[in-house]
Amino acid sequence: IKGVITDAKTGERLPGVAVYLPELSRGAVSGLDGIYWLKQLPEQQLTIQVSYVGYKNIVKTIDVKGLTELNFSMEQSSIGINEVVVSAGRALSKEETPFAIETISPNEIFQTGNITMMDGISSLAGVNQITYGAGIGKPVIRGLSFSRILTIYQGARFENQQWGEDHGLGLNDPGIQRVEVIKGPASLIYGSGAVGGVINIIDEYQAPPGEVKTEFLQNFYLNTLGSKTSIGVKGANEKGFFWNIRPGFESHADYLDGNGRTIGNSRFNNHSIKLAAGLSKEKSSTKISYVYFDQMLGIIEEDEMENSLAGRRNDRQMQLPFQHVKDHLIAVQHSQNFRKGTFKLNLSGHQNIRKEIEDDMEEIDLGLVLSTINLDAKYQLPLTPFADVVMGVQSFFQTNRNMADAHEILMPDADVNDFSVYGLLTKKIKRFSFQGGARYDLRRTYASSTGLVDYVLPGNPESGNMERIFSGFSGSSGITFKATEKVSFKANVASGFRAPDLAELFSNGEHPGTNRFEMGHADFGREQNLEFDLSSRFHTNNLSIEIAGFYNLVNNYIFFNPTNETHNNLTIWKFEQEDVLLTGGEAGFKYNPSFLSRLEITADYSLVYAFSRETGLAVPQIPANRLNNNVKFNFYKAKPIYLNFKTIHVSGQNRVGEHEFSTPGYTLLGAGLSTAVKVKKSITEFNLSVNNLTNRVYFDHLAVTRPFGVPNIGRNVVLSLKFMM
């Protein structure tokens, strides 16, 4: 595809415009003459997105045949709209998909000075995180978390024992293109585990043919005396071969709370490497990736405020207790184009090795090895220029094994086999877009306590073995209506399916990472939910307003509750199951005044209420209402020098579970300064951020350390540098 990109009003050619093909994860940038090239493309129907700061996004569906000439005239607008997303089963603009989808780029995470990628994702409306110190965060979407939220990375399920509060997302932001978050049931497309939503981490685009691209990223964190370094190099030749390598290193000492107190053993460090290579031709594309991620994570003790483990201020060596987590992921992504459709196949192997070391550096207290093989195959068949169907098969095979030298057994050795089939129809009729489909899932879970010391399965079956089979249907049906160029509406109803995870079924032992004795229930039934979503959006060239609401009925909802019982001085926590209701919504706006185009004001508000439909009591571990505000100003029109101020106001959480304590509200202030310098073909970005500007002492309701009386992190000054060429 070749073309010229111009300003619709002046006719001037526009350099630096991003042109993106989401189905292929390929892109290009227009040159100084406004001309762009996209080479080695398949002859098929593709979605193309054209975006440029200060202009309306352009999204079109095109048929690529031979050399396709495609010119674009872009209209000026301060509000970027109509972004293309790929998480809804196929490439669609956000306005066309009935799912509630939010996106965040690594640049947005970079400019806000977040320590982890999860810090950035949790800034989205309707998204929160369960934290354990500064280095561990797991996603919460509209009140749902743990095994109800599925992470997709390198096109595959990223399985890393999501059942644990002290088990974080396990990934970081360098080397990604963006993150797409589905808010609500996505079981139709992704299966069991996506009943609450999906975190889809999309890998960075390959380099343009004949070019080599380099990126260097360096962050410094004053509060934790931390450092994060990432170096990425990628290239491609004119024959379609492409490659990518990106090592990364990160190290943090213990953090300081708002009182200036060192929170002992909150230190963490990690290192990683990502390798990728592939071949892109007109009829097919293949990419092979390998990712290694190694994390060392300190565990904050329950009595930290009385008997602190804090040592020297700059001490970052691991001390007892801590976690050591390793992930190995190999993924193959293949796409084959036929005359009447496209076949995509994703195969992956993932091993998550988790050690929790509590009493002796040479001994493993809890040791688990989770191995997963994933298969995801689908065929997209165009029916008409305005309709297509996707038919897919998904399966994964999983083994969970206790390490032979582990001293504590929390759960049994187990095998999980999962198989599913689904179909998805997308159709456009004038101003309406429809998407709907159905899915069937079948899962077999087999557990064995044979050979395990000091562990018995719940109910203590005589054979020492137990098998559970779960099956169910899920589906989704949604419609979008573009009433005018400025007003659009969405409505969606979706059913999700989730089989209980291994911890919920078979936990029966001490968990060092949370200082608990945890007990599951082997007779739990499957979770099944039905969610109704409604949203509307109004936008002009200077203003965008969006309102969304949801009503989510969950049958057999599984949650964790403490008891008044103890075992070896550890509080016994038991999983319970009830029918619950979650309801709430989000509202947000973005405003660029026409009289002062260098000013940008954004705000969003999110709330969720959750209670048992049987007892009327509140569901535990539900986030408090939150209001985010951000004001951004560009000092110089000709040169980007941005100053921004933000506030995060979190209401007190008084709607708490039966054994849960309420949490007072708080307000955090932040500020940032960023700029970019371009020299020939290189760009250097600088960013200075201050989070928790007033050094507020606060407790987040979802923090695991809140019951310990341990405050969240205090003021953090972050200096970031990014160099690209």
Q: Tens digits of per-residue pLDDT, 81-98? A: 667 888 877 778 888 899
- Evaluate if residue 513 carries a pLDDT over 70: no
**605-624 exposure pattern, b = at least 16 Cβ within 10 A, e = fewer:** bbbbebbbeeeeebbbbbbb
Strand order of the sheet with strand 35-37? 35-37, 2-7, 72-74
Which residue from 133, 154, 238, 172 is spatially nearest to 705, judged by alpha carbons?
133
Phi-psi region of 407 (alpha: psi -120 to 50; beta: other; left: phi over 0): alpha
Q: Are 48 and 17 in contact (CB under 8 A)?
A: no
Extended beta strands in 281-316, E state: 284-298
Mean pLDDT of the 678-685 span: 85
d(CA 617, CA 601): 38
Q: State in words which class domain 2-76 has.
A: mainly beta
Instruction: Compute CA distances 109 → 116, 179, 211, 219, 603, whole Å.
Output: 9, 10, 27, 12, 17
Give me the pLDDT at residue 144, please: 96
d(CA 289, CA 75): 39
Q: Are 121 and 152 in contact (CB under 8 A)?
A: no
DSSP for 656-718, written as a single string:
--TT---B--EEEEEEEEEEEEEETTEEEEEEEEEESTT------TT-TTGGGT------EEE
d(CA 91, CA 418): 26
Q: Are 145 and 62 in contact (CB under 8 A)?
A: no
In the structure, what pLDDT confidence band is assigned to residue 307 with cuts at 50, 70 and 90? confident
589-630 pLDDT, tens digit each: 999 888 887 899 999 999 999 999 999 999 999 999 999 999
Q: Are 41 and 70 in contact (CB under 8 A)?
A: no
What pTM did the predictor assign? 0.92
Residue 502, amino acid: L
d(CA 683, CA 685): 7
Count of beta carbons in the 10 Å neighbourhood of residue 725:
13
Do 2-76 and 100-724 fold alike per CATH? no
Task: Report whether the peptide linkage leading into residue 321 is cis, meaning its omega lies within 30 degrees of zero.
Answer: yes
d(CA 49, CA 424): 23
Residues 6+ apart with CB under 8 A from 216: 230, 231, 232, 721, 722, 723, 724
Token pair for 17: 């415009």
CATH number for the domain running over 100-724: 2.40.170.20
545-570 pLDDT, tens digit each: 999 999 999 999 999 888 878 888 78
Token pair for 695: 């050094």
User: Looking at residue 154, what DSSP letter applies?
Assistant: T
In the structure, what pLDDT confidence band is assigned to residue 181 with cuts at 50, 70 and 90? very high
Which residue from 354, 352, 353, 350 is spatially nearest to 397, judged by alpha carbons?
350
d(CA 149, CA 121): 13
Extended beta strands in 237-365, E state: 241-252, 268-280, 284-298, 322-338, 341-357
Instruction: Compute CA distances 56 → 38, 43, 52, 122, whole Å.
Output: 21, 27, 7, 27
* Phi, psi for 615 (deg, rounded to 5): -110, -15
In the structure, what pLDDT confidence band is assigned to residue 224 with cuts at 50, 70 and 90? very high
Extended beta strands in 483-542, E state: 487-498, 508-511, 516-519, 527-539
Mean pLDDT of the 450-455 span: 84
% the chain with pLDDT above 90: 64
Residues 6+ apart with CB under 8 A from 459: 466, 522
In the structure, what pLDDT confidence band is assigned to residue 78 with cuts at 50, 70 and 90? low
Share the mean pLDDT of the chain: 91
393-445 pLDDT, tens digit each: 999 999 999 999 998 888 999 999 999 999 999 999 999 999 999 999 999 99
132-141 pLDDT, tens digit each: 999 999 999 9
Give me the pLDDT at residue 681, please: 80
Instruction: Compute CA distances 29 → 15, 50, 207, whole Å.
Output: 8, 10, 11
d(CA 36, CA 21): 13
- Evaluate if residue 637 carries a pLDDT over 70: no
% the chain with pLDDT above 70: 99
Give me the pLDDT at residue 81, please: 64
d(CA 99, CA 184): 8
Q: How is the chain split into domains, by residue range?
A: 2-76, 100-724
Q: Are 414 and 399 in contact (CB under 8 A)?
A: yes
Give me the pLDDT at residue 511, please: 77
Residue 632, amino acid: K
Token pair for 661: 């304590």
- Evaluate if residue 106 carries a pLDDT over 90: no
Token pair for 435: 């998407």
Count of beta carbons in the 10 Å neighbourhood of residue 396:
23
